[in-house]
Amino acid sequence: MIEVHNVHKNFGDTPILRGITCTFETGKCNLVLGGSGTGKSVLLKCIVGLLKPDIGSITFDGTIFTNNKIEIRQEIRKQIGMLFQASALFDSMNVFENVEFPLQMLTPDMSKEERRDRVEFCLKRVGLENAGLKMPSELSGGMKKRVGIARAIAPNCTYLFCDEPNSGLDPLTSIKIDELIYEITHEYGITTVIITHDMNSVVEIGDHIVFLHKGLKLWDGTKDEILNAQVPELKDFIFSSSLVRAAKKVEQEGGTIETSVGEPIQGE
């Protein structure tokens, strides 16, 4: 479990995070939800140590991260996998090498054969077992995200942070990437934190949701609770989603929406 306690962050005189306290549960998809500029990315950067909170603390499974000794912070960092918004693959490396890279950095004692087995396992897990020799320029957006996920989990991460994993993807591919993150989180008991403003993700994979508004946490709960939340700012956010409005209209008219998500992975 990751515990965020009373985190404040200013840039100059501008308060961005104004006392955030929340928890991210083990083995769950924890979503940080909110509109643009509400401080979601700044919170994520504070948690992973890219920014230092002005006040407050972050604890990973009982070990304090903020202001702790460098060795302890490094030990925690080694357990963190990151999936970046634009996937951030190394263009000069093929898919296999991209996934192998963190293993070379973080587990130098691993033999070449062990590394190869681990990379092959991770590529298979994300449905890209035949793509190891492809270059990033040859991949679709969805495939790049899959490589990003394989790279993040390759060193057996305990914590997985995903910054808007659906950005730039069509709705069907977004659902498949969400499903993959959800399955991996539950399969390996990872504490996953996903930054999003996508209501689709909320209803698909939101085990635990933290809603931010103007640097404050206004609500947290599950995907089953969110539609009945009585927080005006959250209601405005939810019902600004055209998908939610359309679903509500169909429901009011007595209809149902049927969906079928296919599984073409390699060509997505």
Contacting residues toward ligand ATP, per CB under 6 A = 11, 16, 34, 36-42, 197
Based on CB atoms, which residue is closest to ligand ATP, 126 or 169? 169
110-142 burial code (b ≥16 CB/10 A, e <16): beeeebeebbeebbebbbbeebbeeebeebebb
Based on CB atoms, which residue is closest to ligand ATP, 16 or 123? 16
Nearest approach in angstroms of CB 31 to ligand ATP is: 13
Nearest approach in angstroms of CB 108 to ligand ATP is: 33
Nearest approach in angstroms of CB 22 to ligand ATP is: 15
Give me the amino acid identity at 207. D
Residue given tokens 């087995």 in the structure block: 117
Task: Provide long-range contacts, Cβ within 8 A and 24+ apart, for 219-223.
Answer: 220/22
Nearest approach in angstroms of CB 240 to ligand ATP is: 14
For residue 29, give Cα distances in angstroms to 10, 169, 172, 201.
28, 20, 19, 10
DSSP character string of 108-134: TTS-HHHHHHHHHHHHHHTT-TT-TT-
Based on CB atoms, which residue is closest to ligand ATP, 79 or 167? 167
Nearest approach in angstroms of CB 37 to ligand ATP is: 4
Based on CB atoms, which residue is closest to ligand ATP, 45 or 134? 45
Based on CB atoms, which residue is closest to ligand ATP, 178 or 268? 178
Token duo for residue 58: 């972050």
Q: Hey, which bits of the chain come out as E strands? A: 2-11, 14-24, 29-33, 55-60, 63-64, 80-83, 159-163, 191-196, 208-213, 216-221
Based on CB atoms, which residue is closest to ligand ATP, 37 or 264? 37
Nearest approach in angstroms of CB 163 to ligand ATP is: 8
